[in-house]
Amino acid sequence: MTRAKDISKIVSDANFGGTLDVTGTSTLSGLTYPTSDGSANQFITTDGSGALSFATVDFTALNASNLTSGTVPDARITGAYTGITNLTATGVGTFGSLDISGDIDVDGVTNLDVVDIDGAVDMASTLTVGGAFTSLGIDDNADATAMTIDSSEYVMIGTTDNSPENNSAGTTDDNGIALSPYGYGSFARYAANSGTGIPLFVNRTNADGSLVEFRKDGAVVGTIGNAGARLFINSGTVGLNFAGDGSDQILPSNAGANRDNAITLGTTNVRFKDLYLSGGAFLGGTGTANQLDDYEEGTWTPAYSGGGSAPTVAYSQQVGSYLKIGKFVFLSFSLNTSSVSGGSSSSDLSVSGIPFACGSQTGDRGALSTVRTQNFVTNARSPVAGYINEGSSLILLSSYDAGAYSTATLCDTDDLRTTGDSNQLTATVTYISA
């Protein structure tokens, strides 16, 4: 055996079967090894000139000064580390907590093509995704900003305005949906014409029922729904059916089911004002005899007339009014002349201008009731009665003759006094119109 202390230099290959004990500096292949042992978990490092020494790597201070670039196939860091400005991994990186203040580059581009994160991500600044974004609940393939959540927690779709209900530009800039964190939403949509631009669609499929339900303090106060092709509005057991099936009807109902003879329109101290009907009203029944198809009030202009030779008359008073209920007509009038000419004993005196002709059915004849007559040619020839024949529009005037009223005692146009303030006649007439 060769003892180390006896060897001063070995200039060629040598084999040692035992231990080579070097007490001084040892240099092997140009690398000078340290003369003393290092600490546990240290590594041998070189200064680049052949001198080796023991060194410690502090992973808790891993930063740009000691890990600036390169490829780490499998980086496993279980603590929290900051200050890494460039970390490149070709394998799977497992980190307990990773705080990144700059960009994340995937495939050499500053974006997120594929990032698999199983835990929570806490970002203090903006996350911008340039490509498609997909999560368990969101699949985003938009090519522009589609949804915005502002600092007041309003969620806005298609707009950045949290009050689109106030929009009035009259363009597509009005479009948008805003959902408020205070429990309400607003919808706005530009309409190019009356057939487009519906802001809200509600579609119930299969079974009929409520489309929208309204509540107050959790209790239902009303609904809007459908019964087949009919829309109904309902509160409690009171509702209206709007027939969209071509029947052109609005019907009393309860939750879409028709209710006959059960709902009152108005009450004693809460009344509707005016009712406009082009047809009739059925009162007390549904038969033809129960239909009131006309009610009318108005004025008319009465005038003295003659059957063959009409007189020329100037009036100091010439007024008339009427009331028509169904076919029944009630007339009142008053005449007073200032001058008359052209009367004849062969021309029956009548009053013309009634607003509706008398009915043509037998018995439709009307009757005149005289209220006041004065200053005709003679009292005996003053009109004290009259009638309207079936189908006629003239009130024939009769005088009293030997205690009888008949066609033989019809007044003539020459019974009119010709001087002023004469031929005063005030009367009422009732008849059935055509």
356-413 tens-digit pLDDT: 999 999 888 899 987 899 999 988 888 988 999 999 999 999 987 655 555 558 899 9
Enter the tokens of residue 32.
Answer: 């000078």
Q: Which residues pair with 362 in a beta bridge?
A: none
- Do 249 and 183 reside in the same domain of the chain? no
Question: Is the confidence at residue 37, as pLDDT, over 80?
Answer: no
Q: Is residue 31 part of a domain?
A: no
**Which pLDDT value is given to residue 45?**
82
End residue of a domain, out of 199, 224, 249: 199
Residues 307 and 18: their CA atoms lie apart, in Å, by 165
Task: Tell me the per-residue pLDDT of 83-136, one tens digit each, with 9 for 90 and over.
Answer: 555 555 555 555 555 565 566 655 555 554 455 556 666 666 666 666 666 777
- % of the chain surpassing 90 pLDDT: 53
Token digits for 243? Answer: 């027939």
Q: What average pLDDT does range 218-246 have in this prediction?
A: 93
SS3 string, 282-328, reads: ECCCCCHHHEECCEEEEECCCEEEECCCCCEEEEEEEEEEEEEECCE
What gap in Å lies between CA 333 and CA 376, rounded to an integer? 17
Residue 246 vs residue 327, higher pLDDT:
327
What pLDDT sits at residue 48?
80
Question: Where is 223: in which H helix or E strand?
Answer: strand 219-227
How many whole angstroms separate alpha carbon 227 and alpha carbon 255?
8
Q: Could you tell me if residue 1 is inside a domain?
A: no
Same domain, 178 and 230: no
CA dist., res. 383 & res. 379, Å (int): 9
Mean pLDDT of the region 334-355:
94
**What are residue 418's DSSP bridge partners?**
none
Whether residues 420 and 316 share a domain: the answer is yes
How confident is residue 71, by pLDDT bands cut at 50, 70 and 90? very low
Q: Are 238 and 309 in a shared domain?
A: no
Do 302 and 425 reside in the same domain of the chain? yes
Q: Do residues 390 and 364 both lie within one domain?
A: yes
Mean pLDDT of 50-56: 79
Q: Which residue has the higher pLDDT, 25 or 157?
A: 157
Rounded to an integer, the average pLDDT of 210-234 is 95
- Structure confidence at residue 134 (pLDDT): 72
pLDDT at residue number 376: 93
Can you state the percent helix, strand and coil of the chain, rounding each to 5?
Answer: 5, 40, 55
Report d(CA 85, CA 103) in Å as an integer: 9
Residues 353 and 253 in one domain: no
pLDDT of the residue at 20: 67
The predicted pLDDT at position 42 comes to: 79
Q: Is there a domain that residue 117 lies in?
A: no
Q: Is the same domain home to 258 and 378?
A: no
Q: What is the band of 349 on the pLDDT scale with cuts at 50, 70, 90?
A: very high
pTM: 0.59
Specify the DSSP element, H or E, that contains 79: strand 76-81
Q: Cα–Cα distance between 282 and 273 in angstroms, integer?
A: 19
- Is the confidence at residue 62, as pLDDT, over 60? no
Phi, psi of 155 (to 5 degrees): -105, 120
Q: Is residue 52 part of a domain?
A: no
422 in the same domain as 305 = yes
Task: Tell me the two tokens of residue 50.
Answer: 């052949």
Q: What is the pLDDT of residue 221?
A: 96
* Token pair belonging to 273: 């004002």
| Closest to 301 measured CA to CA, from 259, 251, 254, 355 | 355
Q: How many domains does the chain have?
A: 3
Domain span at 147: 132-199
Q: Is the pLDDT of residue 348 over 60?
A: yes
Has residue 166 been placed in a domain? Answer: yes
In this structure, is residue 51 part of a structural domain?
no
Of residues 263 and 34, more confidently modeled: 263
What per-residue confidence (pLDDT) applies to 4? 47
Q: Which two tokens stand for residue 400?
A: 């009293």
Average pLDDT of every residue of the chain: 82
| Same domain, residue pair 187 and 215 | no
Q: How far apart are CA 391 and CA 322, in angstroms?
A: 18
Q: Which residues of 295-314 are buried (b: 16+ CB within 10 A; e: fewer)?
A: eeeeebebbbbbbeebbebe
Range in 17-31, 172-186, 320-334, 408-422 the model is least confident about: 17-31
Q: Tell me whether strands 383-388 and 176-179 are parallel, antiparallel or unpaired.
A: unpaired
CA nearest to 87, candidates 76, 71, 74: 71
Spatial neighbors of 203 by CB under 8 A, at least 6 apart, are none
Which of these ranges, 132-136, 139-143, 201-205, 214-218, has the smallest mean pLDDT? 132-136
What is residue 131's predicted lDDT score, i.e. its pLDDT? 67
Structure-token pair, residue 429: 């007439």
Q: Judge whether 147 lies within some domain.
A: yes
Query: In whole angstroms, what is the distance from residue 172 CA to residue 158 CA?
Result: 11
Least Cα distance to 266 among 257, 258, 275 occurs for: 275
- Verify that 323 and 391 share a domain, yes or no: yes
Q: Is residue 427 part of a domain?
A: yes
* 414 and 357, same domain (yes or no): yes
